[in-house]
Amino acid sequence: MIEPLTTALAVPPALPFAAPFTESLAALFTEPFTALFTEPFAVPFMARALAEIALLALICGPVSVFVFVRRLSFTSDALTHTVFPGVVVGFLAGQLFAGALVAAIVTAVALTLLTAGGRVSDDAATAVLLTAMFSIGVVLVSRRSSYTSDLTTFLFGRLLTVTPRQIAETAALAAVVLIALAVGARALLFRAFDPAGAAAAGFRIGWLDLWLNLIVALVVVAAVRAVGTILVVALLIIPAAAARMITDRLAVMAVAGTVLVAGAGYAGLLASWTASLHYGVALTSASSVVLLLVAAYLLLIPVRHLRRRRATPWERHVAHEVLTPTPRPVLEPSPPPSPLPAPSPRGRSDRQELRS
C-alpha cells in the first residue's frame, strides 16, 4: 500500500520549488519511519503481547457492553479483586490459570447470591467481600520472599512475558466467553432493560445474573496475567462507556469497544517500546494501554455533547414535550371548590373526581 505512494511522490516534481517538500514527505513513508510502527512487533515477545491484547479486545468489547447496560461496573471491580487470592493460590501451587478459574467461578456464584433480588444493601456486602478476598490474597502472597515483585505481577500483569501457551489459554477462554455471550445475549439484554418484564416473560433472573457474572469472571481470568487484577477492570468498563458516546446501537458499541481496546493495545505497546528503547523511560506496557483507553474516553466526551446538540429536530421536539407534558384533557367537569383543607400538592395530582 505504501510503496506506490512513495513512488508517486518520488517522481520528478512539476515545480522546482516543490522538490524539498515532496522529498521530505516521501521520506516520511520510507522504510525507517514505517518501521517505527511495525518493527517493534517483529520482536517475538512484542508480537505475543499484541496477540494477547487482540484476543482480549475481541471479548472485552462485547462483554463491556453488557457490564455497561447492567451497570455492573462495581460488581466487575469486585470480581477482579476477589479473583486475586485464587491467582495467588494458583501461583503457589504452580497452576495459576486453574487457581484463577476456580476463584472466579466461586466468586461469581457468591456475588450473584449476594446481590440476588436486591435483598441486602448490594454495595456494602460486595465491598466487604471485595476487601476480605483481596486481603487474603495479600496475606498469602506476603509469605513468599519475592513478595513485592510477585504482588506487582498479580496486580498489574506482565503483558510482555506472555507465553504461547498462555495465548492458547486466552484464546480458548475467549471462545467460551463469546459463545456464552452469543447464547445469552437476547435474554441478558431483556433482563438489563426491563427485569420485571423479562421475569414475566419467563426468564429466570437469578440464572441470567449468574450467567453474566460468570462471563465477566472468565474475562478476568483471561486478562489477569496480561494486565493484572487491578487494570483488567478498565478493559471491562471503559470500552463500552467510551463507545456509548459515539453510538446508540449495542452492536456498534461492541465493535467500537473491541476496536478501541485493540487500538489502545497496539498504541500502548508501541509507546512503551519507544519510550524504553529510544528515550530510556520505563513505561509499563499494561498501564500504557489502560491510560490510552482512558484518554480515548476523555477525548470522546465532547463527541457525545456534539451528538446531543445535533439531535434530530424530532428528538428535540420530544425532549421539549417530555419537559412540558401536555395537560390531560378534563374528561369530567371539576367539582366546585372543596370546603375541606387543600390537599397536599401530590394528593392534588392524584385525586380523581366522581359524580355520584
The residue ranges that bind other proteins (CB under 8 A) are 69, 183-184, 186-187, 189-190, 192-194, 196-203, 244, 247-250, 253, 311, 314-315, 318, 321-322, 325-326, 328-329, 331-332, 335-336, 338-340, 343, 347, 350-356
Which of residues 11 and 342 has its CB atom nearest to other proteins in the complex?
A: 342
Which of residues 1 and 354 has its CB atom nearest to other proteins in the complex?
A: 354
**Cβ count within 10 A of residue 152:** 13
Q: How far is the CB of 214 from other proteins (least distance, A)?
A: 16
- Rounded CA separation 285/231 (Å): 11
- Rounded CA separation 180/71 (Å): 19
Which of residues 28 and 179 has its CB atom nearest to other proteins in the complex?
A: 179
Q: How far is the CB of 144 from other proteins (least distance, A)?
A: 45
- Rg (C-alpha) for the chain, rounded Å, is 27
Which of residues 172 and 318 has its CB atom nearest to other proteins in the complex?
A: 318
Q: How far is the CB of 114 from other proteins (least distance, A)?
A: 18
Q: How far is the CB of 322 from other proteins (least distance, A)?
A: 6
Please write down the long-range contacts of 255-260, taking CB distance under 8 Å and 24 or more positions apart. Answer: 255/61, 256/61, 257/60, 257/61, 257/62, 257/64, 257/65, 258/57, 258/58, 258/60, 258/61, 258/62, 259/57, 259/61, 260/57, 260/61, 260/293, 260/296
Q: How far is the CB of 310 from other proteins (least distance, A)?
A: 13
Residue 130 buriedness (CB in 10 A; 0-12 / 13-18 / 19+): buried
Which of residues 15 and 330 has its CB atom nearest to other proteins in the complex?
A: 330
